Amino acid sequence: MFRNQRARTTLRNRPRGNLRILWVFTIILFGILIARLFEMQIIHGEEFSIKAENNRIVQTNIAGSRGLIYDRLGNPLVNNTVSFSASIVPSLLPSNEQFRYQIYLTLEKILDLPALEITMQIEKFQETSSSSETLIIARNLSHQQALLLEQSAPDLPGIALEMESQRTYLGGPALSHILGYIGAQSTQEWEQLRKKGYGFNELVGKTGLEAYYEETLRGTPGKAITEINAYGTKIKVLNELATVPGKNIHLSIDQKLQNYVSELLERGRGDATIAAAVVMDANTGELLALVSLPNYNNNIFSSSKRDEEYNKLVTDPNRPLLNWSLNPAAPGSTFKLITAAAALEEGSVTPKTSYNVDSLAYEFLGVDGITYQFFDWRIHGLIDLYEAIAWSSNIYFYMLSCGFPQEELPGLGNDIEQSAVTLSYYARHFGLGTKTGIDLATSESPGLIPTPEWKRRSRSGKNFTASDREWYYADTCFMGIGQGDITATPLQIAIMTAAIANNGKLLTPRLTSKITDLEGNVIEQKSTIFTDVPVSQRSFEIIREGMRRAVENGSASLAKLDDISLAGKTGTAEFVSPDGITREHAWFTGFAPFKSPEIVVTVYFNLGQGNLKASPIAGKIIQYYFNNMRDQ
């Protein structure tokens, strides 16, 4: 019955279908598949194998531990520490834009970094790097942030918590200008450094010794060849190329002296906002201390409050980030030492040449027909060259540099321009007007030695008149006492003083004594570099004697020490401050001991008088040296 029912459902026609067509289909379709398989696996198998390798194998740089920096006595001034960072591998982020932004928003909450900025950073990163590389998006996370990130990272594909090596500086703010700090590369730096094999995320020295000795400290990075899965998780390390740690740098700086000088300047600065001091070996150019105030704490650059603190430093009107020992000011009377040397060499003066300074104010008719008023700071009476140096007579040094025409007293040369050129010639040979070449990356200023030629060149253009360009009688006179357009840095004054002390060796100052490797083997021993100053020994002797008398019973007498004979020269340079009031810079530069000079001390304050403010501090520094450092 069932069968009958079915019979009504379907007609029982004899099958006559064309099954061959399905065989044809099968052969064609399977033929296509096999041909394609053969092409991919047999013909192009190798290429695909390489692609598979590239998929799973990543090569990463392992930064070698950065070299350390030690002071003169071997005290470490810096430590390598670990800090937490947040990293992103762009290629591991979800392709869906909405999900991606969701991740950025989560990061914004944890890192306090706007999601928009994260987006921009990644876009910028992808312009120069392949998106499978790692980008550090935030550094120096607080422990709280690191903990939060570590907990959230598994839900945020492409985001990871990284540990990076950071620097902790142990020397305190007094050493900040010398050591500098490290930081992330700028785009311009990356352009250069990538050619040297740097990774984008590597921290590099930004200023100070960290920057100057970047390649020495960095060492050779290692490489790790790692297998990763599709989510970027490391599965196993396949191969590793060991890192070579960076080399260690040994400074000539004495950490204790550096701190002591820094404290002295801080305590003695009074109304001065800026101060600098140089303590240098008079024969080698090794710096024992190089101080600049105000200073800053370079550990803020590895703190989580980096940006905030950095902004404070940048907006501070006293510019704590600048190393003021390498920045120029009018040298004032310290320059008289060079004027004296020039006059002695040119034969226009002898130690016996005397002048009666019987008034505080003089009127001179210049060769240019203008009447000038010149002042001295004290009625010196009849003085010779020794006394003129000791008491820092302005009138006497005007006589040496520009001469007094109506008294038929010639200056250095036949005319005022030639006098200026001659003076600038000696100034240059004493190291002024050019960089000293100190091993610090901080932008060092060359200072300025004016000449008639310079004045014509620099005062050209619409903003100046012909009389602005003219070289006046007074230009030469003022230059002779270190005033006017002339400027020099405390470090330049220090090497100039050293050249007087050591009979004419103009030293290249340096902060480092040697470079060693991890085992302590000396790789490079720094040597003394100098050029000769074209001044005779006799002239130096005369100048040194003048300086001795300055301390003994002259203008620098506040530097005088009971048991140590020293020589020095003060400087009180007038300048017109931005508010229009004439103020004074305070200088002292000198050396000790007088007989066989060992150290040079130069002290500078942006406000104050050399004899009152700078001299006593220089005396204390020399005292400290003889009490504590002489035997080292």
Partner 1 sequence: MFRGTQSLHEWARFDFFLILIALALVAYGLILIHSGSAVSGGSFTFSFQSPVVRQGIFAIGSVVVMILLSRIDYHALLHYAWWIYGLSIMSLVLLLIVGQTDFGSTRWFDLGIFQLQPSEFTKVSLILVLARFISNSGGDAKNLRTLLLTLFLTLPFLFLVFIQPDLGTSLIFISIWIGMVLVAGVTRRHLIILATFFIALIPFIWTFGVEDYQIERISVVLNAEEDPLDSGYNPIQAQIAIGSGGLLGKGLFEGEQTQLNFLKVPTKDFIFSVLGEELGFVGAILLLGLFLLLIWRGLRAAQFAGDTSGQLLAAGFVTMILFQVFINVSVNLGIFPVTGLPLPFVSAGGSSLLTLFVTLGILESIVIHHRAYRQN
Please report, as ranges, the residues that interact with partner 1 according to CB under 8 A. 2, 5-6, 9-19, 21-23, 25-26, 29-30, 32-34, 36-38, 40-42, 44-45, 47-49, 51-52, 55-56, 91, 95, 131, 227-231, 235
Instruction: List the one residue out of 406, 356, 397 whose CA is nearest residue 374.
Output: 397
Contact predicate 395/355, CB 8 Å: yes
Residue type present at position 328: P
Please tell me the distance from the alpha carbon of residue 67 to that of residue 55, in angstroms, as a whole number.
Answer: 35
Whether residue 410 has a cis bond before it, omega within 30° of 0: no
Cα end-to-end span (Å), the chain = 123
**Smallest gap, in angstroms, from Cβ of residue 32 to partner 1?**
8
**Smallest gap, in angstroms, from Cβ of residue 90 to partner 1?**
9
**Smallest gap, in angstroms, from Cβ of residue 13 to partner 1?**
4
Please tell me the distance from the alpha carbon of residue 607 to that of residue 68, in angstroms, as a whole number.
Answer: 37
Query: CB within 8 A of 397, min separation 6: which ones?
Result: 336, 339, 340, 388, 480, 481
Alpha-carbon 555 to chain mean position: 35
Please tell me the distance from the alpha carbon of residue 187 to that of residue 175, in angstroms, as a whole number.
Answer: 28
- The DSSP call for residue 511 is S
Tokens of 234: 């490391």
For partner 1, the closer of residues 239 and 577 by Cβ is 239
For partner 1, the closer of residues 28 and 105 by Cβ is 28
- The DSSP call for residue 194 is G
**Smallest gap, in angstroms, from Cβ of residue 26 to partner 1?**
5
**Smallest gap, in angstroms, from Cβ of residue 2 to partner 1?**
8
**Smallest gap, in angstroms, from Cβ of residue 55 to partner 1?**
6
Number of DSSP helices (H) and strands (E) in the chain, helices first: 22, 23
Contact predicate 474/411, CB 8 Å: no
For partner 1, the closer of residues 56 and 124 by Cβ is 56
**Smallest gap, in angstroms, from Cβ of residue 59 to partner 1?**
16
For partner 1, the closer of residues 97 and 307 by Cβ is 97
**Smallest gap, in angstroms, from Cβ of residue 241 to partner 1?**
22
What is the secondary structure of 303-368 as a DSSP string? STTHHHHHHHHHH-TT-TTS-GGGS-B--GGGGHHHHHHHHHHHTS--TT--EEE--SEEEEE-TT
For partner 1, the closer of residues 34 and 314 by Cβ is 34
**Smallest gap, in angstroms, from Cβ of residue 156 to partner 1?**
17
For partner 1, the closer of residues 133 and 584 by Cβ is 133
To the nearest 10 degrees (0 to 180), the angle between helices 537-553 and 490-501 is 110
For partner 1, the closer of residues 94 and 172 by Cβ is 94
Tokens of 108: 């914004």
For partner 1, the closer of residues 157 and 437 by Cβ is 157
Strand, helix or coil for residue 87: strand
Please tell me the distance from the alpha carbon of residue 212 to that of residue 220, in angstroms, as a whole number.
Answer: 17
558-580 residues labelled b (16+ CB within 10 A) or e (exposed): bbbeeeeebbbbbbbbebeeeee
Q: Is 44 left (phi over 0), alpha (psi -120 to 50) or beta?
A: alpha
Strand, helix or coil for residue 610: helix
**Smallest gap, in angstroms, from Cβ of residue 232 to partner 1?**
10
**Smallest gap, in angstroms, from Cβ of residue 92 to partner 1?**
10
CA max distance for the chain: 154
For partner 1, the closer of residues 8 and 195 by Cβ is 8
For partner 1, the closer of residues 42 and 576 by Cβ is 42
For partner 1, the closer of residues 227 and 439 by Cβ is 227
For partner 1, the closer of residues 43 and 576 by Cβ is 43
User: Any idea how long the chain is?
Assistant: 632
For partner 1, the closer of residues 37 and 365 by Cβ is 37
**Smallest gap, in angstroms, from Cβ of residue 230 to partner 1?**
4
**Smallest gap, in angstroms, from Cβ of residue 522 to partner 1?**
49
Between the CA of residue 559 and those of 139, 508, 588, what are the distances in Å?
Answer: 49, 26, 9
